[in-house]
Amino acid sequence: MTRPRIAADVAAALTAAIPPRLIKKLDAEPTLADRWTWSATAVVTDKNETVSLTLTGEVITGVACSCLLQPKCLHIAAVVTLLEPDASTAGAAAPAAAAAAPQEALVVDVAAARSAFAALGAVLAAGAESSGAFAQAELLRSIHACRTAGLHRLATAQTRALRSIRELRTDRSEFSLPILTADLRDGLAVAHALAHGTAAPTAALVGTARREYEDAGNLRVRGVLCEAVVARSGYAGCTTYLIDDRGQLYTRSDVAPGDAGRAAGAYDASAAIGDAVLPHRELCRSGLFVSDATASADGRLGAGQKVRAVRSSEPSRWDGDHLAPKFKRPLAEQLAHIAALDAGPDELRPAGWDFLYVEGTLVGGPGGVGIVAGETPIRFTTMLEHKALTARDNLVVLSRASGLAVRAIGRCRIGVPRELELLAIGPAPGETRFTMPDAWHGRANLHYDRLSQMRLGDAPDLTVAAPLPHDDLLGPLRRRVERAVLGGAGTLPTHAIAELEREAAALAERALHGGAEVLRDLAALAHDAARAATGMRRPLDRNAFAAAWLRAALYEDSARRRLSVASW
């Protein structure tokens, strides 16, 4: 079952009330409550104690236990540890903060931002592997304070970091060190900017509470492609991308708990935009006239009661004026645009922000399949190799079709040069050998539409280019940044100073002087952590450590992105 979310302030208060001896026990076994029996409003332990959940709407606002030690019991702490904080603003302080004078509201924001920087800095100083129930309670308290102060982007970054910390400590397969590093970097950067900025917070720094659907007027949209979704979090389905006359992309999704089988079945499920009931299989190839449309900031189309939609008599094709120019845009311009959006927060990225549109000659062989776009060879890949989907088989078919002139749309990973996660493919204008059913209207969705073998006659026997060797110039800096995320300040002992200096010198030799400087800042912190004249070890300044780590992480992220774009 899908577990309800808990109000952040409630979770923080309950965790803080647990005695230290029980916190140590919970830290040693953070998945204790996973073995218990969960229902919508209660959790029954293996010793038949009942933890009752009080819900207000869909959010837990109270937790009680039938044991004699409640509320300071291990049962409550174990349950709360597995519950994710709710994203809505709770408590009565939010309206008061919103109604305050601008200068007073800014003071509240600064205080919350400083607390968030301290909470994230404490996690970083101890390391994610050592961030137990107490550190998580401090993060929950900070999340609540930021929500109350209206700092939604900062609260969201901390929520994501908390989720990753719990995944790490419970040894879940969903954990990703780069994702946790990015969340800590984003949270510390936003908190620092809010705490030390002299002007009022910008909309980008503050963020929004939810992706609200706003009026988008009357739209004429055409289907572009359909993508399968199989997330590590246990959700699956499909997403259809549509484009309007201005070239802006929108999405309509059907994602719910499930596996690759559900993703396969969702292709034929109704997308339900207004009163136009179309399966995703047809929506991605149809045109729609939508009146009173609603859409979120990231392009998700709403399906409210006032929305009306009528199917166009003309199907959508890739050679229309709305989409064809994207295939003609120079690769360098597309990559620069993607890199700029990659540096921003998730909530400000539009639909299809990482799509790359390429046109060229298909190149295939035993080593795989790709495309030569202009003079740039790009290898096709897929993240979804499930048997229930057709992506893996389709790449095999394409690898035997060298010489075809094609157009392709895929997801670009800036950090992986010359590789494209292929989503859809079709013949380029004038190519008659790439045959497919008329109902597909000139393109195939790689995850769903099964391609048949093509007879190309005297097509040239080409070999796909091997991936370019990747010299990780920023490797030493990246490893220091990520090691600190896992192990904290303990990864910078005093005997590491000489090694840090050697790594800084190596970066300077590669003209990465900024990287050398931030590494030397970390070395200075390691030196300051040495023992004083009295023999006592100097206490670590957590805020200084967090600031030094943040400078290193921001430099590594920015330099990596620029080097990756250049390597394409």
Clarify whether residues 419 and 482 are in a common domain.
no
Domain assignment present for residue 461? The answer is: no
- Say yes or no: 354 and 418 in one domain: yes
Percent of the chain exceeding pLDDT 90 equals 42
- Is the separation of the CB atoms in 114 and 195 below 8 Å? yes
Classify the C-alpha dihedral 300-305-307-312 as positive or negative.
positive
- The answer to whether residues 307 and 234 touch, using CB atoms and an 8 Å cutoff, is no
**For position 213, what pLDDT does the model report?**
76
User: ∠498-504-507 over CA atoms, to 5°?
Assistant: 150
Given a contact cutoff of 8 angstroms between Cβ atoms, the answer to whether 378 and 370 are in contact is yes
Query: What confidence score (pLDDT) does residue 470 get?
Result: 58
How much is the average pLDDT of 144-153?
A: 88
Tell me, yes or no, whether 529 lies in a domain.
Answer: yes
- For 375, the token pair is 């003079």
Other beta carbons within 10 angstroms of residue 467's beta carbon come to: 16
- Give the tens place of pLDDT for each residue, 480-528: 999 999 999 888 887 878 888 898 998 998 889 999 999 888 888 766 6
Q: What is the mean pLDDT of residues 199-226?
A: 80
455 lies in some domain: no
Tokens of 25: 């026990």
Does residue 71 have a cis peptide bond before it, meaning omega lies within 30 degrees of 0? yes
The domain boundary, picked from 147, 173, 206, lies at 206
Confidence grade of residue 232 (pLDDT, cut at 50, 70, 90):
confident
What tokens appear for 179 in the block? 């994702």
pLDDT at 93 over 70: no
The gap from C-alpha 304 to its chain's centroid, in whole angstroms, comes to 27
Is 501 part of a structural domain of the chain? yes
Count structural domains, the chain. Answer: 4
The DSSP-derived string for 95-135 is HHHHHS-HHHHHHHHHHHHHHHHHHHHHHHHH-GGG--HHH
Least confident of 96-105, 214-223, 248-257, 555-564: 96-105
Do 39 and 177 reside in the same domain of the chain?
A: yes
| Within-domain flag for 468 | no
The structure tokens listed for 333 are 């311009």
Instruction: For residue 353, give every residue at least 6 positions away whose Cβ sits within 8 Å of its Cβ, in sequence order, or none.
Output: 338, 341
- Provide CB contacts within 8 A for 347, sequence distance 6+: 153, 156, 207, 208, 211, 297, 298
DSSP string, 285-302: T-EEEEEEEEE-TT-BBP
Final residue of a structural domain among 265, 287, 311: 311
Whether residue 456 is contained in a domain is answered as no
| pLDDT computed for residue 463 by the predictor | 59
Residue 321's pLDDT band, with cuts at 50, 70 and 90, is: confident
Q: Are residues 46 and 163 in the same domain?
A: yes
Q: Which of 311, 339, 370 is the last residue of a domain?
A: 311
Tokens of 362: 């298909």
Give the model's pLDDT for residue 227: 96
Residues 143, 277: one domain?
no
Q: Which residues contact 330 (CB under 8 A, 6 or more apart)?
A: none
Could you give the C-alpha distances from 387 to 259, 261, 263, 268, in angstroms and in order? 11, 9, 11, 17
Domain that holds residue 56: 5-206
**pTM as predicted:** 0.78
Verify that 192 and 263 share a domain, yes or no: no
Residue 104 reports pLDDT greater than 80:
no
* Whether residue 332 is found in the same domain as residue 233: no
CA angle 315, 320, 321 (to 5 degrees): 140
Q: Are residues 364 and 384 in the same domain?
A: yes
Residue 503 located in a structural domain: yes
Q: Highest mean pLDDT: which of 73-77, 97-101, 225-229, 537-541? A: 225-229
Residues 169, 202, single domain; the answer is yes
Task: Report residue 336 CA to chain centroid gap.
Answer: 20
Question: Higher-confidence residue: 567 or 92?
Answer: 567
Of the candidates 200, 271, 194, 209, the residue with the CA atom closest to the CA atom of residue 240: 271
Task: For the sheet with 50-56, list strands across it.
Answer: 5-6, 59-65, 50-56, 42-44, 37-38
Verify that 303 and 329 share a domain, yes or no: no
259 occurs within a structural domain: yes
- Whole-angstrom distance, CA of residue 78 vs CA of residue 51: 10
Look over the chain and give the mean of its residue pLDDT values, rounded to a whole number.
85
**Does residue 402 carry a pLDDT above 80?**
yes
Do 352 and 419 sit in the same domain of this protein? Answer: yes
CATH number of the domain bearing residue 236: 2.40.50
Q: Which distant-in-sequence residues (6+ apart) come within 8 Å of 193 by Cβ?
A: 205
- Is residue 53 located within the same domain as residue 142? yes
d(CA 381, CA 290): 35
Q: Are 124 and 158 in contact (CB under 8 A)?
A: no
Quick one: angle between helices 331-342 and 542-567, nearest 10? 170
Contact, 220 vs 244, CB < 8 A? yes
